[in-house]
Amino acid sequence: MPDTRSNTNLQTADARSPDDCGVVIFGASGDLTKRKLLPAFYNLFVDDILPEHFTLIGFARSEMADDAFRDLALQAITKYSRRPIDEGKWNEFASRLHYHRGNYDQPDSFRTLQKLQNELHNTFNKGKNWLYYLSTPPSAYSDIGNCLKETGLAEDSDAGEHWSRLVVEKPIGRDFESASRLNRSLAASFDESQTYRIDHYLGKETVQNILVMRFANGIFEPLWNHNHIDHVQITVSETGGLDLRGGYYEDIGALRDMVQNHLLQLLCLTAMEPPHNLGADAIRDEKRQVLEALRPIAREEVNLYAVRGQYSAGLVNGSAVIGYRDAKKVSEQSQTETLVALKCYIDNWRWSGVPFYLRTGKRLSKQCAEISIFFRGVPPILFNANPAQPVAPNVLSIRIQPNEGIALEIGSKVPGPQVDVRPVTLDFGYSSVYPAGTPEAYERLLLDVMLGDATLFMRRDEVEAAWSFITPILEGWANQPINDFPNYMAGSWGPTTADELLFRDGRRWRRL
């Protein structure tokens, strides 16, 4: 059943105040909790956005006292928060932090958690509303869900007296079958309306602005189709490597880690039809339809549409770095891809024949994320009559990071007696217009969970539709082992095969 309760207007979500609630973070001693979750909650607290009666319980298997957990939180927030520590605010925030040691697969650990929640209820969380955040390996998701269900902690009052919500981190499965199995397991404990599958890319301000740019400006939508757009490029490149995370990454790879979620979500927002309203389900319905319209890539033709790469040693920003196979816990014969490039087609009326080129990789030349819309060129007459000097096409680029903004390249005459047309850029930068900056993605998403707004979260059918497209690529690659890994140097823009993916179509990757 669709989640009618979460159909909150995206434009007004932040104007509302969340209900009094408590948060339980499973995996409270882990990296994600320290780098993202604790700083996000602290920033929301400093900005007076959290509810008045708020408390946070860290749940993990290691022994830790409340004060030790508060010390861990202080170190994490000092290092990673966008706001500096304010002693008064910190002391008040720290008083709301508690720790509970337990095992993820033992109901007794959840009964003692429930006892702690009841004790805190009288002081802080007066609404008996609880947000459960799974910051653990996916292998623990089903056990946690089952224990929450068995102990009654997953209950969501039909009368609206209190709520329980579950936040799930990626990866949600390894392929279509495992994702479906995990979703079924979660559904046995939490209703779809209670489940929030988080993709932090959707919390980035520039990503949210894609829909505003498209549907709040009359100049773009009439051109947003195959009649006027030649192709689309989506690039998410990283300069960082996997020196310390090789053991985690060996079993995942770039296709599962980045394309199945982040890049396909960016593609959906770029390509979707206008929703009939700004409610969560209306927007997610349109995104699902894009995923279902993706032309399947047959296993036997995977190399025509998909490129994979793995980096060797090289120079990144002037510093020498090791190759992927030299990272800890990585096989010397590893077949794990650290780069993926895809050519996709969306077989619907709007996008018929328009290729979408997706690219992501580790240890590339530049850290950036950008969507580039290449419009069709002008006819070969007038200013474009000389085939030796064709006029560059117009390009609309949406910069997600760094230097968030939107730029449009147009043709302009160079001053002088000759008619020389060159591209110039009309550029809007967030930092120049909004100098106060923007909240971190996790701040927005955590607030939305507390508000019950699921707009920026993936629904079950979206996740499974994405895996339905990705799984044949994984299976095709599994039947065709790579012989030339590593095939690109750290600090480059990837293997030559990624360039050839576009060269065959008479195109090239945009220089970022």
Which residues participate in catalysis according to the annotation? 262
Q: Judge whether 171 and 230 are in contact, CB under 8 Å.
A: no
Q: Judge whether 35 and 78 are in contact, CB under 8 Å.
A: no
For residues 153 and 117, what is the distance between their CA atoms, to the nearest angstrom?
10
For residues 253 and 72, what is the distance between their CA atoms, to the nearest angstrom?
30
Query: Is 135 strand, coil or helix?
Result: coil
Query: For residue 73, what are its two tokens?
Result: 């939180």
For residues 134 and 139, what is the distance between their CA atoms, to the nearest angstrom?
11
What is the DSSP pairing of strand 164-168 with strand 130-134?
Answer: parallel
For residues 137 and 444, what is the distance between their CA atoms, to the nearest angstrom?
23
For residues 107 and 151, what is the distance between their CA atoms, to the nearest angstrom?
7
Determine phi and psi for 67, rounding to 5 degrees. -65, -35
Query: Is 465 strand, coil or helix?
Result: helix
For 12, counting Cβ atoms within 10 Å of its Cβ (0-12 exposed, 13-18 middle, 19+ buried), the class is: exposed
Q: Show the DSSP H helices in 383-459 as ranges.
A: 430-433, 441-451
- Cβ-proximal residues to 350 (8 Å cutoff; 6+ apart), any chain: 224, 225, 226, 271, 273
- Cβ-proximal residues to 333 (8 Å cutoff; 6+ apart), any chain: 325
Q: DSSP labels for 414-425?
A: PSSSS--EEEEE
Q: Judge whether 282 and 457 are in contact, CB under 8 Å.
A: no
Helices 460-478 and 264-271 cross at an angle (nearest 10°) of: 120
- Cβ-proximal residues to 150 (8 Å cutoff; 6+ apart), any chain: 107, 110
For residues 308 and 221, what is the distance between their CA atoms, to the nearest angstrom?
34
Q: Judge whether 328 and 202 are in contact, CB under 8 Å.
A: no
Which amino acid, one-letter code, is at 61? R
- Cβ-proximal residues to 145 (8 Å cutoff; 6+ apart), any chain: 154, 166, 185, 186, 188, 189, 190
